[in-house]
Amino acid sequence: MDKLAPSEQQLLEKIRQLPKEKVIEVENFIDVLVHQNQSASQQATWDQAIAQMANDPDIQAEIAAIDAEFAIAELEGLEDS
């Protein structure tokens, strides 16, 4: 672990002095913050992957082929309405 700044050391010392129940509350709060940060990072990674797929010529060609396959079925469904 990196060397802590004096303010971080003071914070840890204050946490160590808390009653056990309060320490658990602090731990839970930190867990929530870490989870939120991971979720945001995962979402950014997902968004980037989707953007890359959208620009991939092979995927664009596959989507066009699927659209062509279902175009007739879509038209038939509209005629029955």
At 24 the pLDDT is 92
pLDDT at residue 75 in the model: 78
Q: If you write DSSP's letter for every residue of the chain in order, what string do you get?
A: -PPPPHHHHHHHHHHHHS-HHHHHHHHHHHHHHHHHHHHHHHHHHHHHHHHHHHT-HHHHHHHHHHHHHHHHHHHHHHHT-
Which stretches in the chain have pLDDT values below 70? 1, 79-81
The pLDDT assigned to 73 comes to 80
In this predicted structure, what is the pLDDT of residue 4? 87
Q: What is the pLDDT of residues 22-35, one digit of tens each?
A: 999 999 999 898 88
